[in-house]
Structure 1
């Protein structure tokens, strides 16, 4: 028996992200990166150079995020039936991964500089870190609202937020070096920045990986879905269940339902609408694909390995 697919529009009313604020943030970060690279080389500050490296990763991540926003707006086609709806999830994965890669590079550099400390021109470090705080702080405010809408914008937001905090740490280090000549604080602060990047990036990497691997969202229990559908009269068994998240707004459910009687197609359509409303309002699932069965000899387990 073929699948009866019901396409539902619940949960797709999130405001669209335009990407305009991302473009502004990209330009600001290019400016910051250029000034910090020059300033880091002149001053000899590793923390300033590490901040510049992070800013450069910000530029790349923001560009990736912007491309993903543009792609996600493209319509579906015969060869791309879902369109590019997963572009932003891929961007979130790439950006969170780069956060961790950058952190590992910073840890390596911090250890080397800690073993071989160097004198740093603190005045330049202080002024450039203030520039970084101002520019990144403005960028954070620009995209904060959009960061609640999807993982892609959240990944861009985290890059900018951590870089703003990194600039704060660099400023503190510059002040300590200027007034107390504590030069070992430069690699120590770099190490703190790196560990914070790992901390911030890991959760987002884990979340985006779950979506890409077609895992069920953490908020959903499969047995609860089955119990919900089993409440409907004439439903005998729910099995062969698949639940996955296509993107930030769409959660899909696929299942086989064994009916206790040989119902008419018109009756099934009515039951399908009832299932749809139940799983949406109770579990926030907005796309369902149900295969109806009656007396079919197949595996009746809830989860079946295809």
Structure 2
């Protein structure tokens, strides 16, 4: 069995940006909780609750980021590279849980509206926009390259949008005394959280369950490898993400001739080049065979 790694240059995620975001969100969470209680604004309290979930999600993401950098050992042969996928899953799930709670509270408040002090709501919403907006900018680049960072980024982005909605609601309440807008905006925020949270949850779940990546067509991989001279048939194929940086292929390879190991090394190098250049697969684990009697299907139930 031959196992080889080809490392593509990847964007290096900066954990320090997460730490800055954690500190900023602790400050805004405390301010919004106090302001929400004093003003009576459910939207502001919901925004603070979401900010608190941001703090937790950012801490989870930060810890996962650090764990994923640990080296492999005899006890952890892959290291802890999947820690970030678990963090993304937990963060996505927390988005949905928070959203469901907000919907419950918003419906209750809609039928039993409270008078709200919009002035305080406006100032704290503006503060939330500034703090979360800065945090979003800190994580934007990392979010484009890492699912864990994207989960933290989405928490912050949706909270920034929530603060915008709260600000608009505060202005409407200040000038027109439309207090029910507080509940409506909370519902809109919650629905948006469910949409983005569900999408992230599905992506993280697929990676954790070792689904074939959506951009990968296994039949095309087999066709490309089978065209290489010396290959008779690539079969028993598995393709999965260990994490977002490492795309693995494991397969059996029927050789067309009974070749020496040194010749197989040359053949393997050609296969690795095709898989890397055409499919961005950078970890290849192939079992060489010659006239071995075993299932020859592309997909074989282990």
Q: TM-score, normalised by structure 2?
A: 0.98
Q: Are the counterparts in 1 of residues 235 and 297 from structure 2 also a CA contact under 8 Å?
A: yes
* Alpha-carbon distance, 1:15 to partner: 3.2
Q: d(CA) in 1 for partners of 2:79 and 2:156?
A: 29
Which structure 2 residues correspond to residues 9-48 of structure 1 after superposition, within 5 A?
A: 9-11=6-8, 13-48=9-44
What is the match of residue 4 of structure 1?
A: 2
1:213: which partner in 2?
Answer: 209
Instruction: Check whether the contact 1:260–1:294 (CA below 8 A) recurs between aligned residues.
Output: yes
Matches within 5 A, 1:107-146: 107-146=103-142
Q: What 5-or-longer segments of structure 2 have no aligned partner?
A: none
Q: After TM superposition, which residue ranges in structure 1, 4 or more long, deviate above 6 angstroms?
A: none
What is the correspondence of 1:1-306 to structure 2 with a 5 Å cutoff?
Answer: 3-5=1-3, 7-11=4-8, 13-306=9-302
Deviation at 1:82, TM superposition (A): 0.6
C-alpha deviations, 1:129-154, integer Å up to 9, x for none? 01101111111111111111200111
* Cα distance in 2 between the residues matched to 1:236 and 1:15: 37
Rounded to whole Å, the distance in 2 between the matches of 1:187 and 1:82 is 47
- How far apart are 1:198 and its partner, in Å? 1.0
The two structures have a TM-score, normalised by structure 1, of: 0.97
Q: 2:251 and 2:133 mapped to 1: Cα distance?
A: 47
Per-residue Cα deviation, 1:246-265 (whole angstroms, up to 9, x for no partner)? 01111000000112221111
User: Structure 1 regions of 5+ residues with no counterpart?
Assistant: none
Instruction: Give 3-state SS (helix, strand or coil) of 2:12's partner.
Output: coil
- Give the Cα–Cα distance (whole angstroms) in 2 for the partners of residues 238 and 18 of structure 1: 39
- Superposition RMSD on alpha carbons, in Å? 0.9
- Shifted more, 47-56 versus 234-243: the winner is 234-243
1:178-208, Cα deviation, whole Å (9 max, x unpaired): 1111111000000000011111112111111
The whole-number CA distance in structure 1 between the counterparts of 2:228 and 2:14 is 42
Return the alpha-carbon distance in structure 1 between the equivalents of residues 169 and 290 of structure 2: 71
Count of aligned pairs = 302
1: CA distance, partners of 2:131 / 2:283: 41
Cα distance in 2 for partners of 1:257, 1:9 equals 19
